[in-house]
Structure 1
Amino acid sequence: MKDKLTKTNTKSHQTDRKKRLIIGGVIAIILAITPFLFYLYKYAPDNSKIWETTLFTIESKGFSNAQAYIHALYTKITFVIITSLWFLTSKDWWKWAILIPLTMFLFQLLGVINYQISYIDNFDFWYSLPIIMPIIVFLIWISRELNKTIGHLDLKDEIEEELENYKKNNNVN
């Protein structure tokens, strides 16, 4: 019975390890691609409002040319990808703070997609404020709770240490 349980446990551990390796590899590839996304705009024509290739056609929308549109679009996409991966892979309690810049980048991306060039990056912070404020309040609350817990743990450690010293000094078992 124990051998069967050990084999199942080992197989499960190997599967989890393989899965983590694949996910880590995908994340590494995405991160390695992001600089290429960031500089993709250099391949777009800077003197035309339309960029036509065999795969796609992109119009400059409200931008002066296709290159400016691609630059704005892929800059925002790159930041959304990087901050999303950071949020998804972070194991720290403060990972929720990453949602603040991620929310701002998403609003900026929507501004680029909606082709209202006069509003891009100007009011995104104010539009994202209703989403950001609850996150900030939540982070402050978690921080206070963690400080209380850490304080209680420190106090518990001090009490245990004092009891151990008392036992040693008074030969109590």
Structure 2
Amino acid sequence: MSLDIAICFMIVMIYFSWFLPYFIPDNLPFIEFFGVKLGAFGFKDFSMFVWFVSRKLVIIFILSSWFITSPHWWRYAILSPLIIYSYQFWEAFQDVSELDSVGNLRVFPLVVLNVALVIMVSRFVKYRSQFMAVYEEISREVDEMLDEMKSKYPQEAGETLERIRQGKKGKGYRQKLRALEKEIAARLDLTNG
């Protein structure tokens, strides 16, 4: 329930962030909002600053909602562009002469760390999927053996044993029992394993 609310909030914020710059008049050096003076932070005017920041926010909200809703293991790869755009958003509020350029090198170690994490997780998933494939193959063979044991053969072997018991005093009693034993062992594949 709270995840749905968070996603709805992000969708509303994406829409609001996209159209926010169109509500701000051009050529304003600053704006006062509830007693707080917000400047252009090195941009030509305040509307340009809001346009830049709102575009970064739209991408951050889209990537965040994709990261939150993705059920797949590779969703951590989404963190790399999310880290870069979050830094660029933060950088817009700093007094720098160039944006989206050399400053991105500051977050490069975080991106490399995230890529290394994704590679490690992918290898773990690869090995686990290989083990799961072997496990499924073994499970299938065990199921086939159990199905084979559920066949009429155990009943037939029991009837054969009963006939041998009834002819106990007859010639070759032990030989017939040993032959039945070998047949059952071969059937269960106990002697070859």
Q: Is the structural similarity TM-score above 0.5?
A: yes
Q: Which runs of 5+ in 2 are unaligned?
A: 154-186, 189-193
Contact between 1:80 and 1:102, CA under 8 Å: does it hold in 2?
Answer: yes
Residue matched to 1:76: 56
1:109 aligned residue (84, 89, 108):
89
Contact between 1:38 and 1:78, CA under 8 Å: does it hold in 2?
Answer: yes
Residue matched to 2:110: 131
Residue matched to 1:148: 127
Contact between 1:63 and 1:115, CA under 8 Å: does it hold in 2?
Answer: no
Contact between 1:40 and 1:74, CA under 8 Å: does it hold in 2?
Answer: yes
Look at both structures and tell me which one has the larger radius of gyration over its CA atoms: 2
Aligned-pair distance for 1:157? Answer: 1.8
Deviations 1:63-87 (A, max 9, x none): 1111111111222223223323333
Taking the aligned partners of 1:25 and 1:107, their CA distance within structure 2 comes to: 26
Give the alignment's TM-score, normalised by structure 2. 0.66
Matched AA of 1:105: Y
Matched AA of 1:76: K
Residue matched to 1:59: 39
Residue matched to 1:121: 100
Residue matched to 1:10: none
Aligned-pair distance for 1:89? Answer: 3.7
More helix, by proportion: 1
* Sequence identity (%): 22
Taking the aligned partners of 2:3 and 2:105, their CA distance within structure 1 comes to: 35
Contact between 2:41 and 2:92, CA under 8 Å: does it hold in 1?
Answer: no
Per the alignment, do residues 128 and 54 of structure 1 end up closer, same or farther by CA in structure 2, a change over 3 Å counting?
A: closer
Taking the aligned partners of 2:89 and 2:13, their CA distance within structure 1 comes to: 19
Mapped pair 1:100 → 2:80: yes
Aligned-pair distance for 1:143? Answer: 0.9
Aligned-pair distance for 1:132? Answer: 1.1
Per the alignment, do residues 54 and 137 of structure 1 end up closer, same or farther by CA in structure 2, a change over 3 Å counting?
A: closer
Matched AA of 1:154: A
Q: Which runs of 5+ in 1 are unaligned?
A: 1-19
Report the count of equivalent residues. 152
